[in-house]
Amino acid sequence: MGEKFLGHHCEWNLGSPGGWDYQRMAQELGRLSWDKIKRLSGIDIELDFGHSLLNPVPTFARLLLRAHKQRFGRQEAFIVLVAEEETLEKVGENIHFVNFLNRLPGVAAALASPRSLEAKGDAITLEGRRITVIFLDFNNNVVVKLRKKYNLNPLINAIRQGIVINPRGIEPIGAKGIFEVVTGEYKSLMSRTTVSRTPWTRQFYPRSTTGPSGEKIPDLVEWVRDHWERIILKPVHGYSGKGIIIGYQHENPDKSLQYALNSGGYIVQLLTPLNLWAEEFPWIDRKEGRVFVKRWQTDFRCFITDTGLIGFVARFGGVPTNVGSGGGAKGVAVLRSQIGVREAIDRINQAIVDLGYRTVAEIQEEIDKKAVEMGFVYLLGPIMTTLRPRIITPKHLSQLQYYSKNLWKDAVKLNGLWQAGKLTNFVDISEEEEEIARLAPWDGGPALICTDGLYSFGGHLSLNNAFI
Ligand SMILES: Nc1ncnc2c1ncn2[C@@H]1O[C@H](COP(=O)(O)OP(=O)(O)O)[C@@H](O)[C@H]1O
Ligand SMILES: [Mg+2]
């Protein structure tokens, strides 16, 4: 019955993952859209937008309060979200979250640039007030970069004292090269779910290695050329989908291979067939005045903390599927009717198309208006969303919870290996970044990590032409 979700994660982000508040907004927009569609079409399918896993904001706040409590007990919390100066007025997610924290009893919060922190003896302060927890909105490479320009000693002190979430020592094992040991050398130390959800990955340079089925590969470059349709090359320091090369999209493998080898710092990974993580969503074409179903790629981020899975970000777009590359975010709903995901999707898509262009355009307009009011915008401008939510079942939620618990345990193990110097060859970071990471070793304590999944919950497109 397609109960088990399919697919792989394509990366882990352990530095300072975001998207929690975008998902809160996407949920509200998704619910608004669904209420209207349901009322107007009369469709008899029950969707639940209210499950606690569908809004990670309160649980994320609780994570910061746990970190506060460990150190400051019952004292009043002063949580500071530290972000790069030029983003302070632009990134709605951070502004909204600080407002949310300020509404919690016994909690004060502020948004600040790293330069505005001060040190008074042991205390790290903002405008004279002692900070009890910092959530740092950027990665260690940015700490290194800013440190060259400004005096960041108060922030460095805060990192060393352990009041910065995430502890900076967590970041290295989020490196894309780590998947090589998860699917190779340290596979036997990892949970079954982590291994089966991690795509075979190798650092890309002329070498011999083992392949996806454990077979010997005498010459990796040659192997990649021979399996060009099934692979993706990604820069280890890539972000927002920059620099990725999807084999089958490039007719001339030699040129791309040479490019990746010359640039250096690439990994090769098995491609998760695009149809497996694509779904159809109703979409409107304003120019032609029609509603139709459009294929989108769907990325599914899981947020995980020391207490387990706390929520998702459901993105959609092309390949790469990053909001930084023009992607959007959509609501997620739990299917409460006793029908399959495929049937639910088909019926909902049809019901929306049947409403006709004028009605759907009105709904869309209302959603767009609400989105702007809410601040559903990213650095590039308004974020797009879908009329229909991503649909998931209670069974998928428990599978994801189990997967997340295991992944957390495995991340702690890998971190231990990194601290012991056993992963240096797979984590390609500068000495200065390593110095920052070593200031605050992570021991499995409160942190927010995420994995980006290319998953199917049963709504994927036909797999006849598997890699498209
Ligand atoms: N193994 C893969 N199979 C198919 N597509 C992938 C794979 N890995 C990455 N992608 C595509 O590339 C995008 C970016 O990849 P990701 O590993 O998350 O790097 P980045 O750090 O640039 O976000 C993903 O959103 C997805 O669209
Ligand atoms: Mg990514």
Checking if the pLDDT of 327 tops 90, the result is no
Q: Rounded to the nearest whole angstrom, what is the distance from the C-alpha of residue 153 to the centroid of ligand 1?
A: 35
CA-nearest residue, atom 8 of ligand 1:
10
The per-residue pLDDT of the chain, averaged, comes to 95
Tokens found for residue 297: 């790629």
Checking if the pLDDT of 150 tops 90, the result is yes
pLDDT tens-digit profile of 7-40? 999 999 999 999 999 999 999 999 999 999 999 9
Averaged over 374-402, what is the pLDDT? Answer: 92
The count of residues in the chain is: 468
Checking if the pLDDT of 238 tops 90, the result is no
Helices within 227-295 (DSSP H only): 253-263
Strand order in the sheet with 47-48: 47-48, 332-335, 390-392
- Please, what is the Cα angle at 309 between 338 and 450, to 5 degrees? 120
Hey, is 286 helix, strand or coil? coil
| Confidence label for 340 from pLDDT (cuts 50, 70 and 90) | very high
Ligand 1 proximity of 458 Cβ (cutoff 6 Å): no
Q: Rounded to the nearest whole angstrom, what is the distance from the C-alpha of residue 163 to the centroid of ligand 1?
A: 32
Q: Rounded to the nearest whole angstrom, what is the distance from the C-alpha of residue 124 to the centroid of ligand 1?
A: 38
Q: Return d(Cα 108, Cα 101) in angstroms, integer.
A: 7
Q: Rounded to the nearest whole angstrom, what is the distance from the C-alpha of residue 320 to the centroid of ligand 1?
A: 6
Position 53 scores a pLDDT of 97
Position 467 scores a pLDDT of 63
Position 104 scores a pLDDT of 97
Q: Rounded to the nearest whole angstrom, what is the distance from the C-alpha of residue 298 to the centroid of ligand 1?
A: 11
Q: Return d(Cα 436, Cα 415) in angstroms, integer.
A: 15
What ligand 1 atom has the least distance to the C-alpha of 244? 12
Averaged over 145-171, what is the pLDDT? Answer: 97
**What ligand has the least distance to the C-alpha of 199?**
1
CA-nearest residue, atom 9 of ligand 1:
10
Q: How far apart are the first and last CA of the chain?
A: 23
CA-nearest residue, atom 13 of ligand 1:
320
**What ligand has the least distance to the C-alpha of 242?**
1
pLDDT tens-digit profile of 294-303? 999 999 999 9
Checking if the pLDDT of 462 tops 90, the result is no
What ligand 1 atom has the least distance to the C-alpha of 13? 21
The full set of domain ranges for the chain reads 200-271
In CATH, what is the architecture of 200-271? Answer: 2-Layer Sandwich (3.30)
Cβ < 5 A residues, ion ligand 2: 11, 452
Position 1 scores a pLDDT of 44
pLDDT: which is higher, 381 or 260: 260
Position 380 scores a pLDDT of 66
Averaged over 118-145, what is the pLDDT? Answer: 97
| Confidence label for 321 from pLDDT (cuts 50, 70 and 90) | confident
Position 464 scores a pLDDT of 74
Residues paired with 313 in a beta bridge = 301
pLDDT tens-digit profile of 56-110? 999 999 999 999 999 999 999 999 999 999 999 988 999 999 999 999 999 999 9
Checking if the pLDDT of 119 tops 90, the result is yes
Q: Rounded to the nearest whole angstrom, what is the distance from the C-alpha of residue 10 to the centroid of ligand 1?
A: 6
